A and B are shown apart, each in its own frame.
Chain A
Amino acid sequence: DAKTTQPPSMDCAEGRAANLPCNHSTISGNEYVYWYRQIHSQGPQYIIHGLKNNETNEMASLIITEDRKSSTLILPHATLRDTAVYYCIVRVAVNSGYALNFGKGTSLLVTP
């Protein structure tokens, strides 16, 4: 099962781009990368996912390297409300279903 590695914490100034890296060097060819975030103790919130192409939605952009061993989540104009723990996840098959195994994530602090 692919595992992910993220820095434990990062800072970003409000209005600047926040670039959150993730290593998933053991990812297999058909496994997607998912990003979620959790603000304080609220339920995690889906942000974006991708397989091999870069993806963009209203919340963020996801850049996946060509070898798929790492990816970067980009919040183009971070606001104070983006302060949260960000999780990079590779979905794993478990029994006849699947699970998203959340690791420790990256705690992003957006400062004024």
Chain B
Amino acid sequence: DSGVTQTPKHLITATGQRVTLRCSPRSGDLSVYWYQQSLDQGLQFLIQYYNGEERAKGNILERFSAQQFPDLHSELNLSSLELGDSALYFCASSGAGTLLGELFFGEGSRLTVL
């Protein structure tokens, strides 16, 4: 158990819809990262937050947005969903006291867009 909690574990929705994925980082971790893993693209970095502020942005679509709240949990919002958005979405956290570059990943949220 990494200590990172992601909900929901599975989600099935239709094209054009909007969903929110939630991540609770390990206790005390200030950084949260979001990754997308699809069959053809591998594990893609989307975005990083540190203590509520966006720090790094990867290949995140404009239809996607994220935020980190004062209690440090994070949400990834996916809108105008397309079939190609079907993927595993992972959240990871890191913080003070952990090795530089050591990320702790949750078990992921599997999104299926029909």
Contact = CB atoms under 8 A, between A and B. Distances in A.
Are both chains from one complex? yes
Interface of A: 32, 34, 36, 38, 41-46, 49, 87, 91, 94-105
Interface in B50-108: 50, 54-58, 88, 90, 92, 99-108
A18 B96 CA distance: 32
Given A43-B105, A45-B105, A49-B99, A97 B43 contact: no
A84 B42 CA distance: 14
B-side interface size class: 20 to 34
Contacts of A96: 55-56
Interface string B1-44: 01010000000000000000000000000010101010000111
16 contacts: A43-B2, A43-B92, A43-B107, A43-B108, A44-B90, A49-B101, A49-B102, A87-B43, A94-B48, A95-B54, A95-B56, A97-B31, A98-B56, A99-B33, A101-B58, A104-B42
Contacts, number: 75
A104 to B, nearest CB: 6
B58 A46 contact: no
Contact of B55 (A32, A49, A97, A102): A97
Contacts of A102: 35, 42-45
A87 B58 CA distance: 18
Interface of B: 2, 4, 31, 33, 35, 37, 42-45, 48, 50, 54-58, 88, 90, 92, 99-108, 110
A96 to B, nearest CB: 5
Rank and list the top 10 A-B pairs by shortest CB-CB distance, nearest first. Answer: A97-B55, A43-B105, A97-B56, A94-B56, A102-B43, A99-B45, A97-B48, A46-B102, A95-B56, A44-B105
A75 to B, nearest CB: 18
Contacts of B48: 94, 97-99
Instruction: Identify which of B43, B54, B104 gathers the most chain A CB atoms within 10 Å of its CB.
Output: B43
A102 B43 CA distance: 6
